[in-house]
Chains A and B, each alone.
Chain A
Amino acid sequence: MKFNRRDFLKVGLLSASALSFSACGRPVEHGLVSQYQMPEYKLLGEPSFWASTCTELRSDCAVSVKTVENRAIHVIGIAGHFFSKGTATSAAVSGLTTLYHPARLKGASAGDTTVAAEVAKLASRSKSPLFVVDRLCGSLGDAVVEVAQKLGGKIWVCDSHHSMAERRILKAVTGRAELPLADLENRDYLVTVGSNLLQESYAPTRTGWAFGRFRRTPGRLRGKMVSFSSRMNPTDANSDVWEPVISGSEPYVLGALGKLLSEKGKGAFPSWAAITPEEAAEKCGIEEAHRADFAKKLNKLADRLVEARSPLVVGGFQGVNGETTVYLAHTITKMLNGDVTTFEPDLLIGNKKSPGDLFINDAEVSGALQGAEMVVVHNVDLVYRFPWLEESFKGVKNKFVLATMPNDTTEVNNTNKGMTIPLRTWMEDWGDLLVKSPQGSWYGLAQPAVKNQIPDAVSALGFMLELADELKVSLGNKKTNPREFLQRELTEEQWEDLLVRGGHWEREPDSIYGHEAAFPPPATENAGTAPDGYNVFEGVSPLEPSKLGEVSGEGLNFIILPTHLGDGHMADRPWMQEMPDAMTTVVWDSWIEIGHSVAAGLGVKRHDRVSVTVGDKVIKGSAYLSPFIHPKSVGIPSGRGQRLKPHGAVSEIGWVSEGSNPKTLLDGSTGGGEYFSSATAGATLKKEEGSRLLATFDERVYNLPRHVLPE
């Protein structure tokens, strides 16, 4: 066979064409990839999705972190997850800004000693330590418990949910020391009292999904919702009827409701809490002329709850009587349904039954700090959140603060010869958790999606393992590497599966995009409207609006308003700072929220400077006149006003958190309960000189020159 130059060129061209065609036509791989996938198999610029578990909030969402060339650019929920339903919270996504924040803590900031040496010192000073943690979950929580037991120390879990208090309450009501699960998808009637359930539940992504089902499920009636609170929060805003009551009177609503339900044959209600609807109206600050109407509303509500197929009553810790509110709400839910749905997101793996005497509550922490020789603070801005504990904290001789970002606590710690240790974020660290819910249990694995951005940052689990090793505490094996520690009891096949999926759970069939389950063809047409008599307040005359100027600035109730910045740990995230507040649309600043009536009495307009005085403590700020707050209340949002200035500032963009810390007006009172109150009475509002513009967006002034901040 003759093979000339022309044939050679033909074959060459054909081969090159076939090669390029096959390369262009190669299907692109999507979805989760294994940690073991070698870099040479990755295309440049092609994203990788690393499965992990977000530990920003308690929902413990299964997420995949989208990375391009080893940098994380997005956090996306894993669609097949049966509990978090394939979504991710704003806290999870904004965690990216913390990951790459230029102001992250770098290096252990106490002298020239290494972290390992400090761990050894910590072990040697092992007399009565106090561990201050935001939560206890998985192997990390297991290690904290073991070490605390070994050292004879105590643990204070101080999350913003007051989860330990809620566990105790539910233990009293149901016999299970677990957390409440808002299974709204199974409910047809919801009553919230002083609760911001939709924003601050223990599992926000799942609660959001369940709320969608509660509102709209084809073939079912639309779920009804009634709220009572002293200031409308984003959850109240979603209710069909919002009934404002004076701050601190929330349990009286439930006391009257429980009494009525008991009289209607729904079981026993605690006699100490039972009051008549008329008495409740008086306690709730209702004018005398309208108390009969308020009592009628409570009667109507009780009737609807009796008729409802699966009602849910939720109480919140807001206000001075929050503990009682939560207890009575769970009690009423149990009266109506026979039980309260609970789940457990913080289950300790090794210590499935943690000793109760290891934990202290808010009321005991001040004494514990004063008596402690050593305190270890993990992921809690103690000084910002509890200013009244600052002096006690300073007085502890040996202080160890583990934090990702600089905050008020690290500043106080550094100036008081404490040891501050930089932590990795959840996207850089190993961790795990085991969650138990009525729908099933799952194991979540948190694994690094990107390499550690701060070379000196330590792994939280690694730190505790080192400490345990120094103390000769057995945690199941001798491994001190977090990854090996988590892998200890798994086969290689199981471990690889966990790496790829980010945990283990039962998949929902045909729900890869979530839509199949969300919108099945309706069995019957959803009328979308409630039948006659389903309206709670039908036939009851409404309350009269409060008259302008009738409320003075004296003797107001001071309340702390919830924001998306949470307990303040998200204040260093520019995305979160620039996200308008749900109710007021204010960004980058604090405000003092007052009702129109008290404002009219004092001659205050929006943006005017006003001051709030409680005892000898004063906060000044710009006024925001709100229709959402009880006229006898004044509120300041939480999350802003850190003393550390600039708070993670970057030169060109003023990422400085303005505002005030509202907790400085409180005195650490627990009101006879076991958690710190977030409200107080006896506040005085005064008008001050001048004004300062709040950046708000409820006047629709987006980048149009014709209206720039009216008023």
Chain B
Amino acid sequence: MQEFHGKYQWGMTVDVDKCTGCKACVIACRAENNIAVVGAEQAAMGRLMDWLRIERIHHGHFPHVQVDFIPMLCQQCGAAPCESVCPVFASVHTHDGLNGQIYNRCIGTRVCGNNCPYHVRMFNFVYPKWPTPMEKLLNPDVTQRQEGVMEKCTFCVQRIRRGNVDAKVENREILDGEVRPACVQACASEALVFGLLTDPESSVSRNLNQNKHRSVLVHNDHDTRPNVIYLRPERDPSALEPVAPLGEVQRRDGHAGHDHGGHQPTPENSPTPAVEPTPVETSTPAAAAPASTPALTATPGAQ
């Protein structure tokens, strides 16, 4: 059972059913976080720097094809595989449940990237260039990374810290919706909802509770305890499967395996038998939850 040790635990829900794949979030993330353009040559080598990408997952063959657009970003894991392997403690856990990345500690071993099951850590293979006058686009609230440094989504921590300061100055708690990452702010269909998982009245908690039967955690079989919760599309309950080619999708109740409901599995994406989906409890803070309520990532055997 995961417990939140801090006052705040930031989280996000991603409703795959609502995501239209418009990528407004991707561009908003680029603008907010000073993400470098690597150019055609580096892109051809697989070195795009997107902190947030839209996974295009398709099932089946023509003409029986179904596609899902799945925003994939750092899951801000409660038990992040990237943190435990960093030899210089550049990947650290913050008091409000974020996976922090301290750039000036990073020595570029790339072990964290290799250990991340979500492939959301981006390595600066080349020095990011900002030809004049493109440096004018840089956001002064976000540092520029250098060659040889790993970087990733921060949940727009600069906005979170700004919210912390504002709340402290005004002697109040952070309001729901006061802090929103750039991707959430840009999402037209409201597929992305951000907020405090520790607040049962927050938008993200209410959204999660309203859709708990659709909620899944990606790669929770690695006991990563993500704080990004995906809401499955109803037409294809197993649509999140291919997003995890290195493992299997884990439902929030901790049972391994693929949910199945109407989708015809293809040989590539369904090596395991299906199990029936069951509603699971979500987003209730551990401290306020009844004893019988499973916590956010109640994986059997987890600490």
Residue from A205, A543, A695, A701 in contact with B188 in the complex, judged by beta carbons closer than 8 Å: A205
Residue from A68, A577, A582, A703 in contact with B122 in the complex, judged by beta carbons closer than 8 Å: A703
A388 at interface (Cβ–Cβ under 8 A)? no
Which chain A residue shows the least CB distance to B57? A698
Residues of chain B within 8 A of A199, CB atoms compared = 20, 22
Residues of A within 8 A of B (CB): 25, 27-28, 30, 45, 68, 71-77, 85-90, 93-94, 96-97, 100-102, 198-199, 204-209, 211-212, 215-216, 218, 222, 232, 234-235, 237-238, 240, 242-244, 512-515, 518-519, 521-522, 526, 528-529, 542-543, 545-546, 564, 574-580, 582-585, 587-589, 595-597, 627-629, 631, 650-656, 658, 693-695, 697-698, 700-704, 707-709
Is B136 touching A87 in the complex (CB atoms < 8 A)?
no
Is A244 touching B44 in the complex (CB atoms < 8 A)?
no
Is A652 touching B131 in the complex (CB atoms < 8 A)?
yes
Is B43 touching A212 in the complex (CB atoms < 8 A)?
no
Is B177 touching A513 in the complex (CB atoms < 8 A)?
yes
B68 to chain A, nearest CB (A): 8
B7 at interface (Cβ–Cβ under 8 A)? no
Residue from A74, A243, A707 in contact with B63 in the complex, judged by beta carbons closer than 8 Å: A243
Which chain A residue shows the least CB distance to B25? A90
Residues of chain B within 8 A of A204, CB atoms compared = 22, 188
Closest 3 CB pairs of A and B: A208-B188, A513-B177, A212-B189
Is B40 touching A546 in the complex (CB atoms < 8 A)?
no
Residue from B64, B138, B207, B245 in contact with A542 in the complex, judged by beta carbons closer than 8 Å: B64
Is B206 touching A543 in the complex (CB atoms < 8 A)?
no
B230 to chain A, nearest CB (A): 14
Is B23 touching A88 in the complex (CB atoms < 8 A)?
no
B76 to chain A, nearest CB (A): 18
B168 to chain A, nearest CB (A): 10
Q: Tell me the bound Cα distance from A237 to B19 in angstroms.
A: 11
Is B136 touching A655 in the complex (CB atoms < 8 A)?
no
Residue from B22, B68, B245 in contact with A90 in the complex, judged by beta carbons closer than 8 Å: B22
Is B21 touching A238 in the complex (CB atoms < 8 A)?
yes
Q: Which of B29-37, B94-102, B221-229, B288-296 contacts A (4 or more CB under 8 A)?
A: B29-37
CB proximity to A under 8 Å, residues B131-171: 131-134, 136-140, 165-166, 169-170
Is A87 touching B188 in the complex (CB atoms < 8 A)?
yes
A102-B131 CB under 8 A given contacts A90-B24, A578-B48: yes
Residues of chain A within 8 A of B46, CB atoms compared = 695, 697, 701-704, 707-709
Residue from B27, B44, B62, B67 in contact with A695 in the complex, judged by beta carbons closer than 8 Å: B44
B190 at interface (Cβ–Cβ under 8 A)? yes
A310 to chain B, nearest CB (A): 19
Q: Tell me the bound Cα distance from A384 to B7 in angstroms.
A: 57
Q: Tell me the bound Cα distance from A207 to B58 in angstroms.
A: 24
B176 at interface (Cβ–Cβ under 8 A)? yes
A102-B134 CB under 8 A given contacts A588-B40, A697-B46, A704-B113: yes
Is A87 touching B186 in the complex (CB atoms < 8 A)?
yes
Is A208 touching B203 in the complex (CB atoms < 8 A)?
no
Q: Tell me the bound Cα distance from A71 to B46 in angstroms.
A: 32
Is B131 touching A212 in the complex (CB atoms < 8 A)?
no
Residue from A45, A515, A529, A589 in contact with B234 in the complex, judged by beta carbons closer than 8 Å: A529
Residues of chain A within 8 A of B20, CB atoms compared = 198-199, 208, 211, 234-235, 238
Is B61 touching A580 in the complex (CB atoms < 8 A)?
no
B221 to chain A, nearest CB (A): 18
Besides A90-B26, A578-B38, 12 new A-B residue pairs in contact (Cβ under 8 A), listed by A number:
A73-B139, A97-B134, A211-B18, A218-B210, A237-B21, A237-B56, A237-B68, A238-B69, A242-B65, A583-B67, A629-B62, A651-B131
Encode contact with A along B65-77: 1 for CB under 8 Å, 0 otherwise: 1111100000000
Residue from B22, B40, B66 in contact with A198 in the complex, judged by beta carbons closer than 8 Å: B22
Q: Tell me the bound Cα distance from A597 to B188 in angstroms.
A: 37
Is A74 touching B43 in the complex (CB atoms < 8 A)?
no
Q: Tell me the bound Cα distance from A207 to B24 in angstroms.
A: 13
Is B31 touching A75 in the complex (CB atoms < 8 A)?
yes
Is B186 touching A88 in the complex (CB atoms < 8 A)?
yes
Is A697 touching B210 in the complex (CB atoms < 8 A)?
no
Residues of B within 8 A of A (CB): 15, 17-18, 20-24, 26-28, 30-32, 37-41, 43-48, 53-54, 56, 58, 60-69, 113-114, 119, 121-123, 125, 129, 131-134, 136-140, 165-166, 169-170, 176-178, 180, 182, 185-191, 193, 203, 206-207, 210-211, 213-214, 234-235, 245
Residues of chain A within 8 A of B245, CB atoms compared = 700
- Can you sample 17 A-B contacts with CB below 8 Å? A74-B28, A87-B185, A93-B31, A198-B20, A199-B20, A204-B188, A212-B15, A238-B20, A242-B66, A575-B37, A578-B37, A578-B48, A582-B21, A628-B58, A652-B131, A698-B56, A704-B119
Is B23 touching A90 in the complex (CB atoms < 8 A)?
yes
Q: Tell me the bound Cα distance from A216 to B232 in angstroms.
A: 12
Is A588 touching B43 in the complex (CB atoms < 8 A)?
yes
Q: Tell me the bound Cα distance from A514 to B177 in angstroms.
A: 8
Q: Tell me the bound Cα distance from A237 to B69 in angstroms.
A: 8
Is A25 touching B169 in the complex (CB atoms < 8 A)?
yes
Is A94 touching B210 in the complex (CB atoms < 8 A)?
no
Residues of chain A within 8 A of B30, CB atoms compared = 93, 575
Most chain B Cβ neighbours within 10 Å, of A71, A206, A212, A709: A212
Which chain A residue shows the least CB distance to B236? A240
Is B119 touching A627 in the complex (CB atoms < 8 A)?
no
A704-B31 CB under 8 A given contacts A215-B17, A232-B65, A580-B53: no
Q: Tell me the bound Cα distance from A169 to B188 in angstroms.
A: 29
Residue from A27, A71, A545, A653 in contact with B129 in the complex, judged by beta carbons closer than 8 Å: A653
A639 to chain B, nearest CB (A): 14
Q: Tell me the bound Cα distance from A703 to B114 in angstroms.
A: 9
Which chain B residue shows the least CB distance to A197? B20
Q: Tell me the bound Cα distance from A71 to B135 in angstroms.
A: 10
Is B186 touching A513 in the complex (CB atoms < 8 A)?
no
Is A237 touching B67 in the complex (CB atoms < 8 A)?
yes
B201 to chain A, nearest CB (A): 10
Residues of chain A within 8 A of B186, CB atoms compared = 76-77, 87-88, 93
Q: Tell me the bound Cα distance from A707 to B58 in angstroms.
A: 20
B292 to chain A, nearest CB (A): 20
Most chain A Cβ neighbours within 10 Å, of B40, B54, B131: B40
Is A86 touching B185 in the complex (CB atoms < 8 A)?
yes
Q: Tell me the bound Cα distance from A270 to B189 in angstroms.
A: 36
A709 to chain B, nearest CB (A): 6
Residues of chain A within 8 A of B47, CB atoms compared = 703
A74-B134 CB under 8 A given contacts A234-B21, A519-B193, A528-B234: no
Residues of chain A within 8 A of B39, CB atoms compared = 574, 578, 588, 653-655
Residue from B140, B170, B190 in contact with A68 in the complex, judged by beta carbons closer than 8 Å: B140
